[in-house]
Chains A and B, each alone.
Chain A
Amino acid sequence: MSAMRVDAKVVMLGKESVGKTSLVERYVHHRFLVGPYQNTIGAAFVAKPIQVGEKVITLGIWDTAGSERYEAMSRIYYRGARAAIVCYDLTDSSSFQRARFWVKELQNCEEFCKIYLCGTKNDLIMADRSVRQIDYHDAQDFAEEIGARHFETSSKTGSNVDELFQAIAEDYNDTAFQYMTEDTGVDLGQRKDSYFYSCCHNN
């Protein structure tokens, strides 16, 4: 146990049961839990260090509950986030509608939060193409339109999961470096922390 020192806040958003928790579980613990689906209550936080070039960046990942019950509360989870993984289930078109909702919400409230659009449960598509409800290109077009990066992942097989988080860490690293050299006064939720962290490491 050590004190939490987080560089970049990452928030998982999306309709319930799209697979947010599974994605975190796969990335952090390299496993896929089978068994009855347990919806997240409120939100869960986990810090995960990740190697980017020479550096180690700690992602503070907020896995939020998809239930509408917590919608009014969601700001506390995404505020100041540097990256948002907006998830939708490739086999459930209603979950894509919900993803659009979250994108709008982020665009309105968190202009510095980079969006990663993530289609989940790709293994189901691999097993049976007919279950796909969200066309790859439609999602890709939407991602371009909103300036987001787009991934299709499977937490079951692990496909594309590490790539997703690696991209987040690298993007963060690039922009953080930019901010440090420019030293602008942009108000970013985690700015103080990241500076503090960088100082500790450089000295």
Chain B
Amino acid sequence: MDGEGQRATVAWETGTLAPVDRLRTERADSPTPGLVEGTEPGAGGKSAMFVHAQSFEDLTAEAEEEALRGAELDKSEEDCTEELKALEEQHNNDFSSDGRAKEEDVSSEAWRSHRKHVFVLSEAGKPIYTRYGTEEALSSTMGVMMALVSFVEAEKNIIRSIHADGCKVVFLTKSPLVLVGVSRTCQSDRELLRELQYIYYQIVSLLTLTQLNHIFQHKQNYDLRRLLAGSEYLTDNLLRRLDRDPGLLLSAVTCLPLASSARDVVSSSLQAAKAKSLVFSILLAGDRLVTLVRKKDQVLHHMDLHLVFNLVGSSSSFREGEGWTPICLPKFNTAGFFHAHISYLEPASELCLILVSTDREDFFNMSDCKRRFLERLSKRSAYQTLKDALKCPSYSVAQVGIPELRHFLYKSKSSGLYTSPEFPVVYESDEEQERLMGLYQDLHSCLHHPTRPLRSFYRCSETENLLAWVTSGFELYLCFSPLATKALAVSAVNKLLKWIRKEEDRLFILSPLTY
């Protein structure tokens, strides 16, 4: 690995951010730190754990096709401004009647000034979810939204978004649901649509699409909140993650840094604890993946994995005993439920094991798999190594040794995994972290612009300098102090890639296993 890194410098010292297609070489004798998909640092072996090529584009394609079908958008947007006004006034007129926990006066300035609202409604205009305030208080607002959607649809158009007054309103029609995002952020329509899609899949994961369709076919006017009761906090949490978690932005998952020898032991112990109905065994440490073992030929979509993360992370209900719950992994199959055995390895531990089975009768089998896994693992020193790894912070950017570098996100495209250091002191507060995430989101939008995508992007500001760079192998976002120069930033890329290559054993899962 070291030799590889050294030779890499030759190609890199001279090169800047030139296109890299001509650098296509195999990982084994790659002179550069793999710029091509499959050879980049962190690239998994032949068998990736996740659905391949789930790039940002794949994710949004669906929504965009829908939008494209609805041509003549400008016209509809014009037609809609009046309605939008009505909608805003409506906000003023709605009054919250009762006083439940989520209570917030929807006529208040505070309610209106939230950065991002999300509403879910049925095609009949019935409220299903609102991020702020109560659904009841907003029923007439949602009625207006639905009127908007159907007004435009009647003309064989599809409403995509409305821009007015520093505010974007984005619509996603996913029969039988309609999702509306109202944002004051500078995120693109596309990013907002993607977030709405996440919310849509969150709901599907609780009910399956088949059940959703069935319900609304029988009763158009059904109040879906009955079935979603008690799950609102999952959606709330998912929205919070969308603002804060780089994994959701990058369509990738991050791993707990761990010596590869220890990780291998954990993986093979999981692999050995198999059962016929078992499809995925996932070991999490908080929001980080320790390992994932899967059935041959079955791959998990990172979006489904994020939904699982969200389910586990949002609820303390799995803390005690062993959970056994139906879960639909919508990117895998929107029609049916898997059954997940969810439990923590030890009472106060962060380590949570999720065993996804196809058989709802198989609880005791899954329970036995867990027991076998633990039995095997606890005999080995790898378990202690794992527990020690949980105790220390993942890594600081100082370890990379690049002056002025404050933070970065690096995603290996072929493995769907990303790595990033701890936030440095400057970004310690929640507000600062969210602001940095906002900056990364902007960069991400530029790199993934639907018509004018950029390969690299450098931006200076008073507070930090940013560099983003995408190749067919990876995506990289760097954050420097305002003292850094562009030349420094560019040369840092090379150094960072070399460092990641050197550490990739620890930061990524290079050899994922199947049963």
Residues of A with Cβ closer than 8 Å to B? Answer: 1-4, 16, 21, 24-25, 28-29, 38-46, 61, 63, 65-70, 73, 76
By beta carbon, the residue of chain A nearest B226 is A68
Across the interface, do B322 and A41 meet the contact criterion of CB distance under 8 Å? no
Residues of A contacting B327 in the complex (Cβ-Cβ under 8 angstroms): 42
Residues of A contacting B317 in the complex (Cβ-Cβ under 8 angstroms): 21, 38-41, 44
Q: How far is the CA of A62 from the CA of B340 in the complex (A)?
A: 15
Indicate if B324 sits at the interface (CB-CB under 8 A): yes
| A43 touching B207 in the complex, CB below 8 Å, given contacts A4-B368, A69-B231 | no
Across the interface, do B229 and A1 meet the contact criterion of CB distance under 8 Å? no
| A44 touching B230 in the complex, CB below 8 Å, given contacts A1-B375, A4-B368 | no
Give, as a whole number of angstroms, the nearest-CB distance from A107 to chain B: 23
Across the interface, do A76 and B227 meet the contact criterion of CB distance under 8 Å? no
Give, as a whole number of angstroms, the nearest-CB distance from B206 to chain A: 6
| A1 touching B368 in the complex, CB below 8 Å, given contacts A38-B317, A39-B230, A44-B320 | no
Across the interface, do B371 and A45 meet the contact criterion of CB distance under 8 Å? no
Give, as a whole number of angstroms, the nearest-CB distance from A123 to chain B: 21
B317, B318, B322 — most chain A CB neighbours (10 Å): B317
Please pick, from B320, B325, B374, the residue contacting A41 in the complex, using a CB distance under 8 A.
B325
| Given A45-B363, A61-B321, 18 more pairs with CB closer than 8 A | A3-B368, A4-B364, A21-B317, A38-B315, A40-B317, A41-B323, A42-B323, A42-B325, A43-B324, A44-B317, A45-B322, A45-B323, A45-B324, A45-B367, A46-B320, A68-B226, A69-B207, A69-B230
| A16 touching B364 in the complex, CB below 8 Å, given contacts A38-B317, A41-B315, A46-B321 | no
Across the interface, do B324 and A44 meet the contact criterion of CB distance under 8 Å? yes
Interface positions, chain B 334-369, Cβ under 8 Å from A, are 340, 360-361, 363-364, 367-368
Across the interface, do A63 and B321 meet the contact criterion of CB distance under 8 Å? yes
How large, as a class, is the contact surface on chain B? 20 to 34
Q: How far is the CA of A89 from the CA of B228 in the complex (A)?
A: 21
Across the interface, do B318 and A69 meet the contact criterion of CB distance under 8 Å? no
Indicate if B326 sits at the interface (CB-CB under 8 A): yes
Residues of A contacting B226 in the complex (Cβ-Cβ under 8 angstroms): 68
Residues of B contacting A3 in the complex (Cβ-Cβ under 8 angstroms): 368, 371
Give, as a whole number of angstroms, the nearest-CB distance from A65 to chain B: 8
B230, B315, B340 — most chain A CB neighbours (10 Å): B230
Please pick, from B207, B320, B364, B367, the residue contacting A25 in the complex, using a CB distance under 8 A.
B320
Interface positions, chain B 215-269, Cβ under 8 Å from A, are 226-231
Q: How far is the CA of A39 from the CA of B230 in the complex (A)?
A: 6
Q: How far is the CA of A46 from the CA of B361 in the complex (A)?
A: 17
Q: How far is the CA of A118 from the CA of B275 in the complex (A)?
A: 38
Residues of B contacting A43 in the complex (Cβ-Cβ under 8 angstroms): 323-325
Across the interface, do B318 and A44 meet the contact criterion of CB distance under 8 Å? yes
Q: How far is the CA of A70 from the CA of B231 in the complex (A)?
A: 12
Please pick, from A21, A46, A61, A69, the residue contacting B206 in the complex, using a CB distance under 8 A.
A69
Across the interface, do A16 and B323 meet the contact criterion of CB distance under 8 Å? no
Q: How far is the CA of A65 from the CA of B206 in the complex (A)?
A: 13
A3, A68, A69 — most chain B CB neighbours (10 Å): A69
Across the interface, do A73 and B326 meet the contact criterion of CB distance under 8 Å? yes
Give, as a whole number of angstroms, the nearest-CB distance from B328 to chain A: 12
Across the interface, do A42 and B324 meet the contact criterion of CB distance under 8 Å? yes
Q: Is the interface of A mostly helix, strand, loop or mixed?
A: mixed
Indicate if B316 sits at the interface (CB-CB under 8 A): yes
Residues of B contacting A16 in the complex (Cβ-Cβ under 8 angstroms): 229-230
Residues of B contacting A4 in the complex (Cβ-Cβ under 8 angstroms): 364, 367-368, 371
A28, A44, A46 — most chain B CB neighbours (10 Å): A44
Please pick, from A2, A29, A67, the residue contacting B229 in the complex, using a CB distance under 8 A.
A67
Please pick, from B206, B361, B368, the residue contacting A76 in the complex, using a CB distance under 8 A.
B361
Across the interface, do B323 and A44 meet the contact criterion of CB distance under 8 Å? yes
By beta carbon, the residue of chain B nearest A60 is B364
Indicate if B178 sits at the interface (CB-CB under 8 A): no
In the assembled complex, 19 residue pairs joining A and B whose CB atoms fall closer than 8 Å, in A order, are A2-B371, A4-B364, A4-B368, A29-B320, A38-B315, A41-B325, A42-B325, A44-B318, A44-B323, A45-B321, A45-B323, A45-B324, A61-B321, A65-B325, A68-B227, A68-B229, A69-B227, A69-B231, A76-B360
Give, as a whole number of angstroms, the nearest-CB distance from A168 to chain B: 17
Across the interface, do B368 and A73 meet the contact criterion of CB distance under 8 Å? no
By beta carbon, the residue of chain B nearest A43 is B324
Please pick, from A28, A42, A44, A46, the residue contacting B326 in the complex, using a CB distance under 8 A.
A42
Q: How far is the CA of A42 from the CA of B337 in the complex (A)?
A: 12
Across the interface, do A1 and B320 meet the contact criterion of CB distance under 8 Å? no
10 closest Cβ pairs, A-B complex: A42-B325, A46-B321, A39-B230, A44-B321, A67-B230, A69-B227, A45-B322, A40-B317, A41-B325, A38-B316
Q: How far is the CA of A1 from the CA of B323 in the complex (A)?
A: 16
Q: How far is the CA of A99 from the CA of B303 in the complex (A)?
A: 38
Q: How far is the CA of A1 from the CA of B374 in the complex (A)?
A: 8
Indicate if B507 sits at the interface (CB-CB under 8 A): no
Indicate if B137 sits at the interface (CB-CB under 8 A): no
Residues of A contacting B468 in the complex (Cβ-Cβ under 8 angstroms): none
By beta carbon, the residue of chain B nearest A79 is B361
Give, as a whole number of angstroms, the nearest-CB distance from A125 to chain B: 23
A4, A42, A46 — most chain B CB neighbours (10 Å): A42
Q: How far is the CA of A21 from the CA of B364 in the complex (A)?
A: 21
A4, A29, A45, A67 — most chain B CB neighbours (10 Å): A45
Indicate if B311 sits at the interface (CB-CB under 8 A): yes
Q: How far is the CA of A4 from the CA of B322 in the complex (A)?
A: 12
Q: How far is the CA of A31 from the CA of B461 in the complex (A)?
A: 53
Residues of A contacting B324 in the complex (Cβ-Cβ under 8 angstroms): 42-45
Give, as a whole number of angstroms, the nearest-CB distance from B139 to chain A: 21
B229, B327, B367, B368 — most chain A CB neighbours (10 Å): B229
Residues of B contacting A69 in the complex (Cβ-Cβ under 8 angstroms): 206-207, 227-231
| A46 touching B322 in the complex, CB below 8 Å, given contacts A1-B374, A16-B230 | yes
Q: How far is the CA of A28 from the CA of B360 in the complex (A)?
A: 26
